[in-house]
Amino acid sequence: MRMFVTLLLAILISVVEGGSVLCAYTAEDVAMLVPALGLHFAAAGISFLTGRFRRRGEMSPVERDAVLWTALFVPLFGPPLAWAIPHMKANKKVEDAHQVFEKYEEHVRPTVPDYERTLFIGDFDRDLARELDAESYYEVLRNGNTDQKRNALKSLADMGEPKHLELVRRCLEDPEQEVRLYAYSEIERLGRVHEERIEEQTKQAEDEPNNPEVLCALAETYYHYGMSGVLDAGLSAYHFRIAARNAAEARVKGHDGLGPHVMEALSLVALGDNDAARRTLGGLPPERHDDERVCLVRARIAYLERDFEAARIEALTLEAAGAELPSWLDALRRRPAEEPETESPAEEPDAPVEEPAFEPAAEAMVTVEEIAAALEIQPPADFDWTDPEPQSTEPDADESAAVDAEKDEEPS
């Protein structure tokens, strides 16, 4: 009986201990380590009480010592383990991210056709093949050490897509000063390339002030700099304004091509003035309204206004003309046409609304299932692209606060 009780208690202690390790392993932050610590102490307590319940004299010195030492050491080792396990988990996540990327490089990338670089990754256009690149870097930037972050920043900057540079810009506020400087170096390096090009073309524009082609090229360079992701929002907007101005000037100086109209419209779209962009395109002769570049701008405006049906129609127009579509527009084209709204009897409130199934063409995109099969892993299910809560970096010096507020300010 005694052996049976001892065995039961040992199993109970093991289960409690195992539970605490599981809690520690799944803990996302320090606060969630509390249950793990609690279970550790519970295991220690059970172990201690095991000895107490034995009648005096029945326990051998060895047994007694074993019980007492267990009761002492479980709490001592438990907290350090509980602290170390999440850290090892974070490091493992970084390792996993590297491994995912390496497997992807080896197995999947050689089979994926080149696709046009684009700014738009719509909710329904989550191309995991490309997202996987940035996703593995995102994990590294969240959990990696300084060296890993530095290398990830360099790679993201070399890839050069605005979405990737957004990640680089975020690292300008990394808690580690070194990482902030690496992020700065990468942005500065990319910015230099654009600056040199702008300087060169500005000089050309000064030498040939009446050449509309030069002005249009300068507009394009300003626009692309604004779109590059290198500049922050304020300076990007400035560059779009200058691009629109140069494009308008090119038109006035007699540029007879579509370039100035398209460039001005694109710049206005980037500034959020879609109506002005439409008016600019409307100024084109009617025979140019269906030009490929004009259709693309209209598609972009429709997309930004969430009028996906209108964008789809533009895509069909372009397809009929034999134009090559960017992937985001191609994905729109493949959506089934939305049913026009008609008068219908009131629906039952409980009737579920079915979303049309999205089925990308096999040759256009690698599917999630294909990637998972190739990599023999499941893509992370909990990946979150939303921005974290912005941290306030300045004291709350509210203009309406009295002088006393100055004394109460606490730096963040």
Partner 1 sequence: MRPDICLILEGTYPFVSGGVSSWVHHLTTHLPHLTFAVLHVSPKRGFYTKGPVYTMPRNVVALKEVYLHDYSLLAKGRPTDLRGRVERFRDLVQDMRDGELGSFGAFLDALQEHGAGGFSAYDLLQTHESWEVLVENYEKEASEESFLNFFWTWRYCYLPLFNLLSVNIPQAGLYHTISTGYAGLLAAGARLRTGRPMILTEHGIYAKERRIEINRSNWIQDWDSGEIVAQRTAPYFKRYWIRQFQMMSRITYEHADEIFTLYNGNTFDQIRDGADPRKIRVVPNGIDLDKFGEAAQVFDARGDNERFTVGFVGRVCPIKDIQTLVGAMRLVADKIPNVRVRVLGPMDEDPEYADLCKRYVKRLDLEKNVKFEGRVDVIQEMPTLDVIVLTSISEAQPLVVLEAGAVGLPTVATDVGSCRELLFGRDPADRALGAGGLVVPISTPSETADAILRLWRNKDLRLRMGRAMRNRVQAFYNQRDMVGAYDEIYSRHVQQAQRVI
- Gap between the Cα atoms of 147 and 140, Å rounded: 10
C-beta of 198: minimal distance to partner 1 in Å? 7
Q: What are phi and psi of 257, to 5 degrees?
A: -90, -175
CA distance 311 to 338: 12
In 3D space, the residue among 314, 288, 289 whose CA is nearest the CA of residue 299 turns out to be: 314
Site for partner 1 in 150-189 (CB under 8 A): 150-152, 155, 158-159, 172-173, 177-178, 180-185, 187-188
Of 46, 53, 41, 51, residue with least CA distance to 79: 41
Shortest Å distance, C-beta 300 to partner 1: 24
40 to 67, 77, 366, 396: CA distances (angstroms) = 15, 9, 47, 42
Shortest distance, position 394 Cβ to partner 1, whole Å: 5
**Cα 125 to chain center, whole Å?**
14
Among residues 218 and 296, whose Cβ is nearest to partner 1? 218
Separation of alpha carbons 302 and 310, rounded Å:
6
Show the tokens assigned to 57.
């004299």
**CB-based burial label for 211 (10 Å; 0-12, 13-18, 19+):** middle
Sole binder of partner 1 in the list 199, 208, 307, 359 (CB under 8 A)? 199
Q: 79 φ, ψ to 5°? A: -60, -45
In the complex with partner 1, the residue whose CB is nearer, 177 or 210, is: 177
Region binding partner 1 by CB under 8 A among candidate stretches 19-27, 145-153, 276-284, 314-322: 145-153
Integer Cα distance of 222 and 236 in angstroms: 9
DSSP 142-179: HH--HHHHHHHHHHHHHH--HHHHHHHHHGGG-SSHHH
In the complex, what is the shortest distance from the CB of residue 371 to partner 1, in angstroms, rounded to a whole number? 18
Q: Are 205 and 229 in contact (CB under 8 A)?
A: no
CA–CA separation, 335 vs 355, rounded Å?
A: 11
Question: Among residues 28, 147, 200, 307, which is the contact residue for partner 1, using CB under 8 A?
Answer: 147
Nearer to partner 1, 151 or 274 (CB): 151
Site for partner 1 in 124-143 (CB under 8 A): 136-137, 140
How far apart are CB 337 and partner 1 at their closest, in Å? 39
- Annotate each residue in 47-86 with x if it binds partner 1 (CB under 8 A) or - if it does not, as one string: ----------------------------------------
Task: List the one residue from 148, 221, 246, 267 that touches partner 1 (CB under 8 A).
Answer: 148
Number of residues near partner 1 (by CB under 8 A): 47
Tokens representing 202 are 């500005």
Residue closer to partner 1 (CB basis): 187 or 216: 187
Residues within window 88-107 making contact with partner 1, judged by CB under 8 A? 98, 101, 105
Q: How far is the CB of 230 from partner 1 (least distance, A)?
A: 10
User: For residues 208-267, which are near partner 1 according to CB under 8 A?
Assistant: 231-235, 238
How big is the CA angle at 375 (ends 369 and 381), to the nearest 5 degrees?
60
- Provide φ and ψ at 288, rounded to 5°: -105, 0
**Minimum distance of partner 1 from residue 127's CB (angstroms):** 17
Binding mask 379-398 for partner 1 (x = CB under 8 A): --------------xxx-x-
Residue 114 in the binding site for partner 1 (CB under 8 A) = no
For partner 1, the binding residues (CB under 8 A) are: 98, 101, 105, 136-137, 140, 147-148, 150-152, 155, 158-159, 172-173, 177-178, 180-185, 187-188, 195, 198-199, 202, 231-235, 238, 393-395, 397, 399, 403, 406-407, 409-411
